[in-house]
Chains A and B, each alone.
Chain A
Amino acid sequence: MRDAMPKWADLVLIPLVSLVLAFGLSALVILAIGEDPVAAVRMMVSGALGSTYAWGYTLYYATNFIFTGLAVAVAFQARLFNIGGEGQAMLGGLGVALICLSLPWPHWALALPAAALGAALFGAAWAAVPAWLQATRGSHIVITTIMFNFIAAAVLNYLLVNVMRPIGSMDPATAKFPSGTHLPSLHDLLAPFGIAFSRAAPANITFLIAIAACVLVWLIVWRTRLGYEIRAYGQSEPAAIYAGIRPVRIVMAAMLISGALAGLMAVNNVMGEAERLVLNAVEGAGFIGIAVALMGRSHPFGVFLAALLFGFLYQGGAELALWTDIPRELIVVIQALVILFTGALDNMVRMPLERLFLALRRGRA
Chain B
Amino acid sequence: MTLFHKALGATAALALCAGAALAEPALIYDLGGKFDKSFNEAAFNGAERWKAETGGSYREIELQSEAQRQQALRRFAEAGLNPIVMAGFAFGSVLEEVAADYPDTTFQIIDTRVDAPNVRAIEYSEHEGSYLVGMMAAMASKSGTVGFVGGMDIPLIRKFACGYAQGVKAVNPDATVIQNMTGTTPAAWADPVKGGELARAQIAQGADVIYAAAGSTGVGVLQTAADQGILSIGVDSNQNHLHPGQVLTSMIKRVDLAVYEAFTAGADLETGYFVLGLAEDGVGYALDEHNKDLVSAEMIAAVEEAKARIVSGDLAVHDYMTDNACPVK
Q: Which residues of A come within 8 Å of B, CB atoms? A: 57, 60-61, 150, 153-154, 157-158, 161-162, 165, 167-173, 176, 200, 202, 269, 273-274, 276, 278-281, 283, 314, 317-318, 321-322, 327-328, 331-332
Q: Is the CB of A153 within 8 A of B185?
A: yes
Which residue of chain B is the closest to A331 with respect to CB atoms?
B64
Residues from 13 to 30 in B contacting A, C-beta threshold 8 Å: none
Q: How far is the CA of A271 from the CA of B89 in the complex (A)?
A: 21
Whether B155 lies near A172 (C-beta < 8 A) is: yes
> B184 to A153, Cβ gap below 8 A?
yes
Bits for B179-205, please: 1 = Cβ < 8 Å to A, else 0.
000001110000000000000000000
The reply on B93 being an interface residue by CB < 8 A is yes
Q: Closest Cβ of chain B: how far from A265's Cβ, in Å?
A: 13
CB neighbors of A among B54-87 (8 A): 61-62, 64-68, 70-72, 74-76
A202 to B154, CA, bound (A): 28
Determine if B2 is an interface residue (Cβ-Cβ < 8 Å): no
**Once the chains bind, are B184 and A318 in contact (CB under 8 Å)?**
no
Q: Is the CB of B184 within 8 A of A158?
A: yes
Nearest 8 CB-CB pairings of A with B: A157-B184, A170-B89, A328-B62, A153-B185, A154-B184, A170-B112, A172-B154, A321-B61
The contact of A314 among B62, B65, B89, B92, by CB within 8 Å, is B65
Tally the A-B contacts, defined by beta carbons under 8 Å: 82
A279 to B31 alpha-carbon distance, docked (Å): 12
Contact status B155-A318, CB under 8 Å: no
Residue of A whose beta carbon sits closest to that of B76 = A322
Residues of chain A within 8 A (CB-CB) of B312 are none
| Complex Cα–Cα for A351 and B323 (A) | 64
Chain B residues with CB under 8 Å of A322's CB are: 61, 71-72, 75-76
Interfacial chain A residues near B139, Cβ < 8 Å? none
Contact B66 A281 (CB under 8 A): yes
Point out the residue from B33, B68, B76, B186 that lies within 8 Å of A280, measured CB to CB: B186
Measured CB to CB, the nearest residue on chain B to A150 is B185
User: B92: shortest Cβ distance to chain A, in Å?
Assistant: 6
The complex places the Cα of A328 from the Cα of B60 at a distance, in Å, of 11
| Least distance between A352 CB and chain B CB atoms (Å) | 35
Residue of A with least CB distance to B155: A170
17 contacts between A and B (CB under 8 A): A157-B184, A158-B184, A161-B153, A165-B155, A168-B322, A171-B89, A171-B90, A171-B93, A269-B66, A314-B64, A314-B65, A317-B64, A318-B64, A318-B71, A321-B64, A322-B75, A331-B64
- Say yes or no: A202 contacts B92, CB within 8 Å: no
Complex Cα spacing A274 to B93, Å: 9
Encoded as 1 (CB less than 8 Å from any A CB) or 0, chain B from 305 to 324 comes to 00000000000000001111
| Cβ 8 A contact of A276, one of B74, B93, B154 | B93
B279 at the interface (CB under 8 A from A): no
Determine whether B116 belongs to the interface, using a CB cutoff of 8 Å to chain A: no
Task: Give the size of the chain B interface in residues (CB under 8 angstroms).
Answer: 32
A158 to B66, CA, bound (A): 20
Q: Name A170's contact: one of B64, B66, B74, B92 (CB within 8 Å).
A: B92
Q: Which residues of B contact A (CB under 8 A)?
A: 31, 33, 61-62, 64-68, 70-72, 74-76, 89-90, 92-93, 111-112, 153-156, 184-186, 321-324
User: Closest CB-CB distance, B240 to chain A, in whole Å?
Assistant: 28
Q: A170-B156, A176-B93 are in contact. Are A318 and B62 (CB under 8 A)?
A: no
CA distance A332 to B75 in the complex (A): 21
7 extra interface residue pairs, beta carbon distance < 8 Å, beyond A150-B185, A278-B90, A318-B68: A60-B67, A162-B324, A169-B155, A170-B111, A202-B67, A281-B66, A283-B66
Q: Give which listed residue, A157, A162, A167, A281, contacts B185 with CB less than 8 A.
A: A157
**Contact A274/B112 with A57-B71, A172-B154 known, Cβ cut-off 8 Å:** no
Please report the C-alpha to C-alpha distance between residue A332 and residue B31 in the assembled complex, in whole angstroms: 14
Whole-angstrom CA separation of A322 from B62 in the bound complex: 8
- Given contacts A57-B71, A281-B66, A314-B65, are A173 and B185 in contact (CB under 8 A)? no
Assess the A328–B64 pair: CB atoms within 8 A: yes
| B247 smallest CB distance to A (angstroms) | 28
B90, closest chain A residue (CB): A171
Min CB gap B188→A, angstroms:
10
B114 to chain A, nearest CB (A): 11
A178–chain B nearest beta-carbon distance, Å: 14
Distance in angstroms between the alpha carbons of A136 and B184 in the assembled complex: 31
**Assembly CA distance A336 to B100 (angstroms):** 38
Residues of B close to A171: CB separation below 8 A: 89-90, 92-93, 112
Which chain A residue lies CB-closest to B185? A153
> Are B321 and A168 closer than 8 Å at their CB atoms?
yes
Measured in the bound complex, the distance between the Cα atoms of B322 and A87 in whole Å is 31
Residues of A within 8 A of B72 (CB): 322
Given A153-B185, A171-B93, A280:B66 Cβ within 8 A: yes
Please report the C-alpha to C-alpha distance between residue A171 and residue B67 in the assembled complex, in whole angstroms. Answer: 16
Residues of A within 8 A of B153 (CB): 157, 161
Cα of A171 to Cα of B89 in the assembled complex, Å? 6
Residues on A with beta carbons closer than 8 Å to the beta carbon of B68: 318, 321
C-alpha gap A256/B259 in the complex (Å): 49
| Closest-CB distance, B208 to chain A (whole angstroms) | 30
Question: In the complex, what residue of chain A is closest to B101 when comparing beta carbons?
Answer: A200
Residues of B within 8 A of A328 (CB): 33, 62, 64
